[in-house]
Structure formats: C-alpha cells, structure tokens
Amino acid sequence: MACLLKAPDGPLKGCVSFTTQERDNLINGSTGLRAAIQALKRRFVIGLHHNWHDHRFQYDPLFDFSMAGDGDLVEAEGRDFARIPIDACNFAPPCYSLPRNEPFWDILYVARAVAFKGIPEFFGGIRALYDAGHRPRVLFICPLPCPVEIPGIPDLRKHFEQMFSPEERHRITFLSIDWDYPFPLDAQSLAFFYRNSRIFFHPAPEERRCRTAAYAWAGRMPVASTKNVASILPRSLHRAPFLFAFDSSLSMTPALAAALESNGKSDPAWEDVSAEFSAQASAKRMTALLEQLAGQYGWGSLSNAPINPSHLDIRLGRHHGISSGANRVDQSLSQLCHALASLSDGALRSICDSEDPELALRQSCPPEASEETKPPAPADAPITRALKKIGLFRA
C-alpha cells in the first residue's frame, strides 16, 4: 500500500512508499494518478515496495527507490536504480522476540492456501519424514481464501486426510482458518504458536521474501527452507543452527531431521539473526539507508523524524483500494494523494506517530461512498481471547 514512513518538515522531505500491485493495477493505467504522485515529490521521496521478486524489472523514475532484497530485482536494461534491502519481512513485531517456551509442537508452518506457498511440498515433506521413522508433532496454520487456489487439489482437507492416517493426524494439526482472510490471527496470537514450536518449515519453491519465515528468525527459531526463502537471511548466517537449507525433495528430509536435532540456542550470532528482522532495528537501518541514498541520488534532505516501526510488517505490503480484508485500506489512491498534498507538516507528523498511520490518514479523508468499509480489527482477535480464557496466552 501507500505507506507513510516520514512526514515532511518544511524544506526537509517526508517519505511514502507504494506497492507493485498498486503500480500495476492502478498507477500505470492512470495519467491523473501518475501526475498526483509526481506532484508529491516536491514534499516526499517516493518508494516502491516489491511484493514479489522481478528479474525483468523496468525502472520507472516516478519512484525514487525500490524496497527489495539482494537478487530480487534485475533491471531489464541494466539501468542503475536506488534500492533499500529492507521490506515488510524485516519488521517482525516485538511479540515474536519474547522468550520462547518449552516447545509443544516440533514443526510449524504458516501459509495461506495459495499456489506459491508450496503446500503440496509441505505435506510431502512431512509424509517423507514419517515414512523415515520420525514422528514429530506438527502444526500447520492455513488461512483459506475462497476459493482455495492450489492447482490439482480441489479439497485441501480431503487431500490431507488421504495422505495421513487417523493415528498420524493425532500428531499433525492442520488448522485451516476460514475467517478474516488473509490475516485471521492478530500478531500476539500467531506469535504464541511460534514461541511454542521448535522449528519452522518453509518449502515454497519460488517465494523469496517471506514474513512467516522472518517471524521465526526474529524469535531465534531454526528454519528449514528452500534456498530461495533463505534469501532474506544475510549470506554470512546461512548455517546451522539458523538455517537448514534444501534444494530438492531428496535433501528435504535430512534438513528437517537435522533442524529437529539441532541445539544451538547459545550461538552468539542469534543476536544478529534476530536483529535482522526486528522492527525497531530495521526502522533505524532504513532511516540510515534513506539518508545515504538521498545524498547519492540527489533527492534533497530528509526529515530527521524517526520512522515509526508500528505494523510495518503488514503496512508496507497492503494496498489502497484493492485486495481484501486486513490487506486493504478502503481509500482510493487519488484521495490519499490529495491528503498527503494538502495536510500540514504538523498534521502529517501526528499521523506518522499513530499506531497505524494509514488508517489514521484514511480517517482524515473519508472513503468514497462506493467503497466498502470495515472498522479496524479489535485488539484481541477471537483466538487470543480463547487462549487467555484457558490460561495459555502470554503477551
């Protein structure tokens, strides 16, 4: 979405970023929107958050910089462009870094039921692990779109039940969730499951920058994953006990077994792993990188105000006027641009300091009557309240 990172301060520029989905579906097809964003550049530096890697990337000077990891973008004509190697996955909320509990589940996977998440590979990996004589306790948390978008698997629950016996399913919890897609659980509830699991398993065949793996590393949790998922971890940290990488179905089972047997809690480099995905630490790194790029590319001086890390793991990747549920802000981009252009520096600074700046900005400019609106989700989602009630939840 358009994410307000810094408010302008007189001659000092603010910073706002848009997503590639907004670029492709809204901005590129509208001369009016492009003109409105170009006009914002008098007061703002404009970023582009890439929600997927692009190896035929075409630089567009409307956007001053891109947010994407090393190797995620290859410019089609070899042109130079400004890039910050930080994005939504680097902003894990503090609840993921709380002290870990004695694990109840051995393996955790969190993935929406969409094609690129590698759910068939996940079930296949657990099947192979059981066939090899291992009996880990597994938790798979799976938000369901409507319809489920996995080619060749029309009924995901039935597919799971056909792959595992009733006895095995007593140790494999497939928690499919059909409400509030794509984010049915609040961060505190989801972090509870992370803190009660031993390792995170992510077999996606193509996905590179992934929040759910980042949450694991933020909480000092070993990750068994494909090498593309591991691209978000600095290469110097591509080793046990942080990463157990595999590149085929044959190497998947040994990687999972090694991760389950690992005991590297005392490795001092966990501090660096966790900091790479800490919202507070990433906000400071982003501020420094923006200052560096502003001088290098001649953007002008930026506001000295710190970047507010609140909810940036979600805010950077959600969208204005498109997508669904909590992944959408019900405000048109034209209204957003008008608000950014017309509100005073002081008003924008107050909005920047709020818990969710884009929702606060939306309230300063009501959505169009044709848009469907939803109130923000309550602080405690249903599952959080249930966990509290039975004494299992710890904030």
Residue type, 200: F
N- to C-terminal Cα distance for the chain?
28
Confidence of residue 57 (pLDDT cuts 50, 70, 90): very high
> What pLDDT is attached to residue 246?
96
Q: Is the pLDDT of residue 112 over 70?
A: yes
User: Average pLDDT of 179-199?
Assistant: 95
> What pLDDT is attached to residue 393?
43
Residues 36, 38, 44: CA angle, nearest 5 degrees: 100
CA-CA distance, 79 to 76, in Å (whole number)? 8
Confidence of residue 362 (pLDDT cuts 50, 70, 90): confident
CA-CA distance, 296 to 290, in Å (whole number)? 10
User: Average pLDDT of 293-303?
Assistant: 97
Q: Is the pLDDT of residue 381 over 80?
A: no
Asked which of 133-147, 279-293, 321-335, 380-394 is least confident by mean pLDDT, the reply is 380-394
Mean pLDDT of the chain: 89
* Beta pairing class for 3-6 and 14-19: antiparallel
Find where tokens 């972090």 sit. Answer: 191
Q: How many CB atoms lie within 10 A of CB 135?
A: 12
Q: Is the pLDDT of residue 373 over 50?
A: no
CATH topology for the 94-271 domain: Rossmann fold (3.40.50)
CA-CA distance, 51 to 7, in Å (whole number)? 24
> What pLDDT is attached to residue 67?
94
Q: Is the pLDDT of residue 377 over 50?
A: no
Confidence of residue 324 (pLDDT cuts 50, 70, 90): low
Asked which of 36-40, 252-256, 329-333, 391-395 is least confident by mean pLDDT, the reply is 391-395
CA-CA distance, 341 to 45, in Å (whole number)? 13
Asked which of 155-164, 181-190, 250-259, 312-321 is least confident by mean pLDDT, the reply is 312-321
CA-CA distance, 193 to 183, in Å (whole number)? 15
Q: What is the pLDDT of residues 14-29, one digit of tens each?
A: 999 999 989 998 999 9
Give Cβ neighbours of residue 78 (< 8 Å, ≥ 6 apart). none
CA-CA distance, 211 to 222, in Å (whole number)? 15
Counting residues of the chain whose pLDDT is more than 70, the rounded percentage is 90
User: Average pLDDT of 358-376?
Assistant: 58
Q: Is the pLDDT of residue 123 over 90?
A: yes
> What pLDDT is attached to residue 209?
86
Q: Is the pLDDT of residue 364 over 90?
A: no
> What pLDDT is attached to residue 146?
85
Q: Where are the domains of the chain?
A: 3-91+278-363, 94-271
Is the dihedral angle over the CA atoms 348, 354, 358, 363 positive or is it negative? negative
Comparing CA positions, the residue from 109, 99, 98 lying closest to residue 259 is 109
Q: Is the pLDDT of residue 12 over 60?
A: yes
> What pLDDT is attached to residue 379?
45
> What pLDDT is attached to residue 322?
65
User: Average pLDDT of 175-191?
Assistant: 94
> What pLDDT is attached to residue 143?
95
Q: What is the pTM of this model?
A: 0.86
Q: Is the pLDDT of residue 376 over 50?
A: no
